[in-house]
Chains A and B, each alone.
Chain A
Amino acid sequence: MSVSNTMKPSERMKIPRQNSIEQNPVERSRNFQEVSLGLDEARALVESTRCLECKNPVCIEGCPVGIDIRTFIQLVMDRNYAGAVKKIREANYLPAICGRVCPQESQCEAVCTMGKKHPSVAIGKLERFVADYESQHDLFTPPEVPERSEESVAIVGSGPAGLTCAAELAKMGYGVTMFEALHAVGGVLRYGIPEFRLPRTILDQEVERIKALGVEIYTNFLIGRTATIDELFNEWKFSAVFLGTGAGTPTFMGIPGENMSGVYSANEFLTRVNLMKAYKFPDFDTPIKVGKRVAVIGGGNTAMDAVRTSRRLGAEKAYLVYRRSKEEMPARVEEVHHAEEEGVEFLLLTNPTRILGTATKWVTGLECQKMELGEPDESGRRRPVPIKGSEFVLEVETVIEAIGQKPNPIIQATTPGLDVGKRGTVVTNDDLCTSREGIFAGGDLARGGATVILAMRDGKKAAQSIHQYLCNKREKKEELKAEAV
C-alpha cells in the first residue's frame, strides 16, 4: 500500500475521474499542435488516489505488455514520478508513446475494478503524465546494459514492434542494428499517426533513448532490395533477424474512379502530411491537395487520423463514411469523440459505390448507398446490408480511403523458405519464430493490421524468443566444443 494514501476505498470512489486539459476544439481543428495536453501534477495526484490498490491487480493482466500498473500508480501517489516511469519502463520502453496512443479503454482500464461502478482509473493519462514529467525535468537515466554479448541481431523496420524489440535486446546486451526503408525512424508512428496525437518531439526523444542503448540505425535501407535477409546472415553476420515491417501496403475498395486526381489512400495522405510535412507547403516541397469537402472512407484509427487531418488542412466539410454503425467502429473511443468535437460529420451505415469526376478526371463526388444491419458475420459484428434505392451522391473534391492495409510483399518475395499466410502476412508460431531458423516476426507483418501496443508486445516477446534461441545455440556450440576436447 502506498504510504501517502490513507483513504478508504469508499472515499476513493467518490473522487471524480480527472480529465486531461485539451485544446479548444474549434481552435485545434485548424492547427497541428497536440490536442490533449494531459494531466497536470495536481490532477495526476488526485487521479492516482482513486486507485483502489487491488490485492489482485487485474489491470496488469489487461495490459498487453504487463506493466506493473498498481506499483507505478502508488509511486505517483508518493510523488516519486521518476520511480513511476522507471517502473513502467521495465515492461515498456516507450511510455510517452503508449500513454498517448494505446486504446486503454479496451485494455487496462476496461478491467479496472473501479470501472465496475465508477469511471475507471485514468491509467493511460497517468502513464503519459509521468513520462512527460520525466522529460520536462530531465530525469531520464538509461537502464544499465550488461556486458555486450558477441551476437548481433538485425531489426527490420523501425516501427513500434522493431523499436521495442531493439530496446529489449539492447538491454540484454546484444548488438542491435535497425534497418529502416524511409529516411526517418518510427514507422507508423512517423508516417501514420499525426502530430496532433503524437508530437514528433516525443517520438524523436523516444528514438534517441533507444539509440542511447547502443542501437545502430540505418535509414534509407530497404531490406529485400538494398540487402536481402540472407545477406544479413551471410555477409553482415547477424545471428538472428526480427521482421517488424508492419502492414504498409494500402488496400483500395475496388470501386470505379479510384485512380482519379483527388483520391488518396490514407497512407499516402498521412505520409504526405506527417512524414513529408505537406501542411507546410511551400516551405516544405511535398504538395497535397485537399478540397473544401472531403470524404474519408473507413472506421478505424487511420480513418479518424485522416479525417481530422483534412479538417486541419482547411476542409470545410469533412465526412467520415462508414458502412457499419458507430458501435462497430474499431477506432479508439477518444479519437471518435475528438473527431466529432472538431466538426467531422459521420455518415454511418453508408457504403461508397463509385467515385464521380470531371472529364479530366478530377473528383466531384462519392456515390453511396445506405445500409442496414443484418445478421452477425464471422467477426461477430452485424453485417451491413444495402437498402435498395437508397443511393445518393455526396459532393466532395477529395476522397481518402482508409479501409485497411496489408503487409508489404518485398521481404516475403526475396526471402526463400519464409512461409507467407493468406493475407500476405508472415506465418509465425506462438514464440514468433517464422518458418526460417533465426528469423522472427511480429507486429502487423504477422497480424495483418492491429495496434501499436500489440506490435510492442510482439517486439518484446520476439526479443525473449531471440534471446532463448541464441542461448540454446551458444549451449549447443559449447557442448560440441566440450565433446571435441
Chain B
Amino acid sequence: MNPHPTASGGRMHTIKEKEILSPTITRYVIEAPFVARKRLPGNFVIIRLDETGERIPLTIVDSNIEHGTITLIVQAIGKTTRALAMKNVGDTIADVAGPLGNPTPIEFHGPVACIGGGVGTAELLPIAKALQKAGNTIYTIIGARSKDLIILEKEMGSISRALYITTDDGSYGRKGIVTDQLRDLLKSPNGLAAVYAIGPLPMMKAVSNLTKEFGVKTLVSLNAIMVDGTGMCGGCRVTVDGKMKFACVDGPEFDGHSVDFDEIIMRNRTYTDLERISNERCQAHETVHAEGGSSR
C-alpha cells in the first residue's frame, strides 16, 4: 500500500551526510522520506536517538524529496545534541517524526529583516529563502557570541540585499548585538515592513521590544520544552496575547509583540539542574571515547 516503497516510515533513519560547520555546530542530512515529502519552511521534527533517548524538537533546514532526506543543523549543547554529534555517516537515529508545527506564513511585505542568533540562523535560512522567492527584499543580520558561532553566512548572503554580522566580542563583523544593527535598518529611509527573528529567547525578546517601538510586524519562533510535539503534553504552553498556546501545534512561530518572553524564559529553566547531570554523564562518555583513540 505504501506509495513510496523506498520510504519505510519510522523504521530506519540513516545519517547520509555530516558536515562540521563550527566547533559545536554540525549539519546532518538524514534519511526521512515521509518527512521530506511534506516539509515546508518553519516545520520541525522530533527526534529520539535510541531506546533510552529523549524526544527533542529540531527545525528542518532543508529537504530533498528525490533522495528522501532532510537537513538539520544542530548545536551540541545538551545531552542529546552531543550524543548526536558523536554519530557518523552510516549511523542511524531511532525516531524522526514530522513534519510538525505550522509552516511559516510566507507573504509579500517589501523590505524584510531576517535575524538569526547563533544556530537559529539555520532555522531562519529556509524561511528567508521562501520570503525572498515571494518577492521580499531581504536584509539579514546574523549575530553570535563570537566568530566561530557564525554560520551560513554565504547561504544567507546569496539571498540578501545586504548581510550584517554582529558578535558580542567583536571577533567578526560589528561588535555588539543584533538589535544595534536592526535599529539602524529600522531608522533607514526605506525602513522595514516585517521582521523574522529566530535565536535565543533574550535575543527575540530584545528584537520584539525594539520593533514594537517602530510598529513593525515581527515573527519569532519559540523553542519551548516539548515531549511529543503533537499537542498531547502541553509542556510547550506559552502565553501569547494573554492566552495559553501550545508552541508545537499553535506555533512554533508567533507575533513577537504578543509573546510573554519572561514567562517562557523562566519556564525553560525547569530542568536546568537535571540537564547538567545528563550532560556530565555524556561528557564522561565522550572522554572515554576520546581516550579510546577516536580521532575526532
Contacts and interface: CB of A to CB of B under 8 A. Distances in A.
Interface of A: 152, 175, 177, 180-183, 191, 216, 218-222, 225-227, 235-238, 248-250, 252, 254, 258-262, 264-265, 267-268, 271-272, 275-277, 280-287, 289, 360-361, 408-410
Contacts of B98: 222, 225-226
B1 A177 contact: yes
Interface string B215-258: 00000000000011011111101110000100001000000000
B28 interface: no
B18 interface: no
A34 B227 CA distance: 25
B281 A238 contact: no
Given A221-B34, A285-B53, A289-B270, A183 B10 contact: yes
A181 B97 contact: yes
B9 A220 contact: yes
Contacts of A408: 230-232, 249
A360 B100 contact: no
Contacts of B53: 284-285
Given A181-B230, A182-B228, A260 B267 contact: yes
B150 interface: no
Interface string B246-284: 000100000000000001001101110011011001000
Contacts of B9: 218-221, 226
A268 B10 contact: no
Given A183-B97, A238-B1, A271 B232 contact: yes
A3 B137 CA distance: 87
B230 A222 contact: yes
Given A182-B228, A259-B239, A409-B249, A267 B233 contact: yes
B234 A268 contact: yes
A285 to B, nearest CB: 4
B205 interface: no
B188 interface: no
Contacts of A271: 227-228, 232-233
A175 B270 CA distance: 46
B80 interface: yes
B239 A283 contact: no
B180 interface: no
Contacts of B38: 225-227
B95 interface: yes
Nearest to B274: A287
Given A259-B239, A287-B271, A226 B99 contact: yes
Give 8 closest A-B pairs by Cβ, nearest first: A268-B233, A220-B10, A219-B10, A287-B274, A220-B97, A285-B54, A218-B9, A265-B234
B267 A261 contact: yes
Output the residue of A177, A180, A268, A277 with the most chain B CB within 10 A: A268
Contact of B34 (A226, A259, A283, A361): A226
A191 B169 CA distance: 46
A225 B238 contact: no
B3 interface: yes
Output the residue of B54, B94, B244, B278 with the most chain A CB within 10 A: B54
A182 B95 CA distance: 9
B235 to A, nearest CB: 5
Nearest to B52: A284
Nearest to A179: B9
A177 B3 CA distance: 13
Output the residue of A226, A272, A277 with the most chain B CB within 10 A: A226
Contacts of A191: 228, 232
A249 B232 contact: yes
A237 B3 contact: yes
A283 B52 CA distance: 7
26 contacts: A180-B10, A181-B97, A181-B228, A182-B97, A182-B228, A183-B55, A220-B97, A222-B230, A226-B34, A226-B99, A252-B244, A258-B237, A259-B237, A259-B239, A261-B269, A265-B235, A268-B234, A268-B235, A271-B227, A282-B274, A284-B52, A285-B53, A285-B79, A289-B270, A360-B266, A408-B231
Interface in B154-174: none
B2 interface: yes
B48 interface: yes
B231 A410 contact: yes
A258 B237 CA distance: 9
B228 A409 contact: no
B35 interface: yes
A408 B228 CA distance: 12
Contact of B35 (A218, A226, A261): A226
B34 A286 contact: no
Given A259-B244, A285-B53, 19 more contacts: A183-B10, A183-B94, A220-B10, A226-B34, A226-B97, A238-B1, A248-B231, A250-B232, A250-B234, A252-B237, A268-B235, A272-B233, A277-B52, A282-B277, A283-B52, A285-B278, A286-B55, A408-B231, A409-B249
Given A281-B274, A410-B231, A259 B2 contact: no
A183 to B, nearest CB: 4
Nearest to A413: B249
B96 A265 contact: no
Output the residue of B52, B99, B239 with the most chain A CB within 10 A: B52
Contacts of A181: 97, 228, 230
A361 B271 contact: no
A64 to B, nearest CB: 25
A164 B179 CA distance: 56
Output the residue of A220, A260, A277 with the most chain B CB within 10 A: A220
Output the residue of B52, B234, B270 with the most chain A CB within 10 A: B234
